Amino acid sequence: MIAYLRGIQFHLPDAVRTNDDLVADNPDWDADKIYAKTGIRARRIAAADETASDLGYAAAEKLLDEVGIDRGEIDVLLFCTQSPDHIMPTTACILQRRLGLPSTCGALDYNLGCSGFTYGLWLARALIVSESARNILLVVADTYSRYCDLHDLTTVTIFGDAGAAALVSASREGSLARIGPTVVGTDGRGEENVIVRSGGARMRQPRSHLDSYMFMNGPAVFAFALTSVRSAIGHLLERLKLDWSEVDWYLFHQANAFMLDRLRTVMKIPESKMPVDMEDIGNTVGASIPILIRRQMDAGRFQSNQTCVLAGFGVGYSWAMTELTWGCG
206: how many CB neighbours lie within 10 A of its CB? 14
- Three-state secondary-structure class, residue 13: coil
Beta bridge partners of residue 9, listed in sequence order = 165
Name the CA dihedral angle for 173, 175, 181, 187, rounded to a multiple of 10 degrees: -140
Cβ-Cβ contacts under 8 Å for 58 (sequence gap 6 or more) = 11, 163
Identity of the residue numbered 274: M
pLDDT tier at 209, thresholds 50, 70, 90: confident
- pTM over 0.95? The answer is yes
Cα-flanking dihedrals φ and ψ of residue 103, to 5°? -70, -10
User: CA nearest 98: which of 162, 52, 48?
Assistant: 52
Segment 18-41 shows an average pLDDT of: 97
Quickly list H helices, the chain.
19-25, 31-38, 52-67, 91-99, 116-129, 153-156, 218-240, 257-267, 288-298
Percentage above 70 pLDDT, the chain: 99
Segment 64-80 shows an average pLDDT of: 97
Beta bridge partners of residue 320, listed in sequence order = 184, 312
Cβ-Cβ contacts under 8 Å for 21 (sequence gap 6 or more) = none
- Residues 297/257, Cβ–Cβ less than 8 Å: no
Instruction: Note the pLDDT tens digit of each residue in 103-144.
Output: 999 999 999 999 999 999 999 999 999 999 999 999 999 999
Q: What structural domains does the chain harbor?
A: 3-175 (3.40.47.10), 179-326 (3.40.47.10)
Query: Which 8-state DSSP code applies to residue 269?
Result: -
Give the active site residues: 114, 253, 283
Instruction: Note the pLDDT tens digit of each residue in 259-301.
Output: 999 999 999 999 999 999 999 999 999 999 999 999 999 999 9
- CA 156 to CA 145: how far, in whole Å? 7
- Residues 326/305, Cβ–Cβ less than 8 Å: yes
- Residues 75/105, Cβ–Cβ less than 8 Å: yes
- Residues 111/82, Cβ–Cβ less than 8 Å: yes
- Residues 216/298, Cβ–Cβ less than 8 Å: no
User: Rg for the chain (alpha carbons), in Å?
Assistant: 19
Instruction: Note the pLDDT tens digit of each residue in 300-314.
Output: 999 999 999 999 999
Segment 88-92 shows an average pLDDT of: 97
- Three-state secondary-structure class, residue 91: helix
User: CA nearest 313: which of 256, 242, 273, 247?
Assistant: 256
pLDDT of residue 210: 85
pLDDT tier at 329, thresholds 50, 70, 90: low
